[in-house]
Amino acid sequence: MTGDLLLIINTAIAILGFAAAHPGGTPGLQAALTQLTALVARARALTEVKVDGALSATEAASQGNSLASDIFHYMLQPIAALARSAYRGDKVRITRFRMPRSGRLPRETFLALGRGILTAVREDLARFLDLGMEPELPAQLEAALTTLTAMPAQVQEGRRTRGRARTDLEKVEDDLLDLINRLDGLMRFRFRNEPETLAEWQRARNIPWPRSGDTAAAKAKAAKTEATGSGES
């Protein structure tokens, strides 16, 4: 949740508290308050979706990096060591198992390397088994490479989820500001003859925008919410 949206939600909650303390009003006013309650709930729900999407993307990226490291150190390097023994003196065959000094390669390059080594092992499986290779290693390597291949899609889905939620939150933020303005007009007329209650309302509906280091967006929102002349109390 952005700082601006949090300020707006807190103001909406203050407005709902004011309304609860001063019940009544026209059906239109009550409908607006019901809508405000729904918008606050939606903002909170979307914030959770946004956070979950970001966490999902981060977690998938982290898992992908960890899996790639495990594949490199505990599968590909051991196979390469066996290959150097199996094909000692045969530079052509050993080339198929040549390993970089680290596994920090672009994802597609790393996957191509792993698939190439897996294919080479299976083509001469008996030799590697005779040298003591665990029989299940090729299948485990294939499964790990398949999982690693799917990781970018999980990262992208998390990012898309976060992006959709962010876009929806921007719409909710605008709707909240519009509704606060509408309620301001309704409440100021309703309590026009009650100065103390009106002052209480103005305190409740005031959005405390930062006074220093304002962003252009914050200033624009402040201008929008104060366009009716309600300002700060």
Supply the mean pLDDT for the chain: 90
> Which H helix or E strand runs over 158?
helix 137-190
Which tokens in the block code for residue 46? 């979307």
Provide Rg for the chain, Cα atoms: 31
The fraction of the chain above a pLDDT of 70, given in percent, is 89
Question: Residue 151 in contact with residue 63, Cβ under 8 Å?
Answer: yes
Q: Domain limits of the chain?
A: 3-225
Q: What type of residue is 147?
A: T
Least confident of 37-41, 104-108, 152-156, 182-186: 104-108
Cα–Cα distance between 161 and 154 in angstroms, integer? Answer: 11
Reported as a single tens digit per residue, the pLDDT across 20-77 is 999 999 999 999 999 999 999 999 999 999 999 999 999 999 999 999 999 999 999 9
pLDDT (0 to 100) of residue 230: 47
Residue of 233, 232, 204, 168 whose CA lies nearest to 13: 204
pLDDT at residue 181 tops 50: yes
The stretch 155-164 carries a mean pLDDT of 95
